[in-house]
Amino acid sequence: MELRQNQKYALSFVIAIILLLISFCWQNSNFSYGDEQKIMEQSSLLRHYLFKNKQSDNSNSYLFINVAHDLELISQEDGLGNEVITDRGKLAQFFRILQQNPSAHNIVLSDIFLQGSSPNDSSLQASIDGLDRLVFPTHFDELGNIEKTVIDVPLGLADYSKATSGFFKFKINQSDSLKTIPQVLYESIEGKKLETNSILWPINNLIIDHQIRPFDFEHSDQFAKVDLSELLVLPEELVLDEFVKDKILLIGNFESDVHETIAGVSPGTLILLNVYLSLKDSNDLIKPLWLIFMRLMLSVFSYFLLFRTKKSIEKRRIRWIGPLLASATFFTMLSMLSHILFNQPIQILLLTLLCNALVFVMQLYENKWRPKHLLDWAKNKRDHFLKPIQS
């Protein structure tokens, strides 16, 4: 039985809504398909070059302080050997400088996990007391509990979800009892609360927009970078007036604390900054323009895929290779375009398989197939692929 034209339009619209809901559920889940990483890498690169000047005006807002060469040796907690940690004595020296003018800096992200006891812990604790706008990282342990640090400092969660290979999403709201570091940065710098549970903030698993790419960070001179030990030999007044004043201070190991991302190998501290910048640009919001764009594209594609002219199609002949290739190509291009324009890629494999299942069902319906016809078709395919080779 042939569907009327208005029924075809209505069905295409309903299918588009279903595909859109599936895409949204994937975006808001922890799961990522690693086999689509290459596509995300290319669209992320195109997005960066189209909007590459987006953060150039704010590059002087940051001071990156590297602690890769400022290390100390402590005994492991089990007593079996030693481990290398960041030199907490030098950290204490730097924070004592900040104590002289606590309002000079904007905020300090000290991306150093404070575990393992050091002789300098009491000095570091004293240098941190009284400092505002400061955050250190912590993580979940194997049992899902938030790990405690050896020093009483303001904490933020820094755990992230990972695709097959590479950093792709960051879960903004991870615990009811402790905010994530990007949340802390956003609320402190922007001066407003981030409502992650509101209907206006529906994407909790944020796809990161790497506005500061690792290559640019490493090779560009537009970002102020300095080793902690080099900073400590300067006069304290110079440090406060020329380096710290009104800056977002980012302290971390920019050489060994690195992670795979769709933008390349990136320092963990830089990743956390990029998550904050994504929040600042409202990339965790479902944009109305994106909804209109996706609904239009999916409705049109659904209509032409399911209800294209079939005058040349032989009766009761199931076609699946053509629709499969068409769906894969369309969703790949749509995902790249959605990523470039809205920083919201879509799930390619799942939508492709779903659309082809719908095509299969529609062909059965339009050709008035019965179970016997389907069984005969399957047998013919079996005989075709398993027929003996003639010598």
Calculate the CA 226 to chain-centre distance: 27
Give pTM, 2 decimals.
0.83
pLDDT, tens digit, 9 for 90 and up, residues 79-125: 678 889 999 999 999 999 999 998 889 999 999 999 989 999 999 99
- Residue 335 dihedral angles phi and psi, to the nearest 5°: -65, -45
> What pLDDT does residue 158 have?
92
Whether 30 contacts 327, CB under 8 Å:
no
- The reported pLDDT for the residue numbered 316 is 47
Cβ(310)–Cβ(362) below 8 Å: no
pLDDT at residue 275 in the model: 92
Residue 180 sits at φ, ψ, to 5 deg, of -80, 160
Q: Where are the domains of the chain?
A: 5-24+287-384, 55-280
Of 377, 370, 379, 357, nearest in space to 22 by CA: 357
Assigned token pair, 371: 């179970």
CB count in 10 Å sphere of residue 342:
18
Low-confidence ranges of the chain (pLDDT < 50): 200, 309, 311-316, 391
Return d(Cα 169, Cα 207) in angstroms, integer: 5
**Which tokens go with 69?**
């060469």
Q: What is the model's pLDDT at position 314? A: 47
For residue 227, give every residue at least 6 positions away whose Cβ sits within 8 Å of its Cβ, in sequence order, or none: 65, 66, 67, 68, 69, 70
> What is the C-alpha to C-alpha distance for residues 223 and 213, in angstroms, rounded to an integer?
12
pLDDT of residue 51: 75
Residue 150 DSSP class: S
Q: How far is CA 104 from CA 61, 115, 163, 228, in A?
A: 13, 28, 39, 18
Burial of 356 (0-12, 13-18, 19+ CB in 10 A): buried
Can you tell me whether residue 165 is helix, strand or coil? coil
The predicted pLDDT at position 53 comes to: 56
What integer pLDDT is reported at residue 277 of this predicted model? 92
- Please, what's the b/e burial string for 294-330 (b: 16 or more CB within 10 A of its CB; e: otherwise)? beebbbebbbebbbeeeeeeeeeebeeeebeebbbeb
Indicate if the alpha-carbon torsion angle 65, 68, 72, 73 is positive or negative. positive
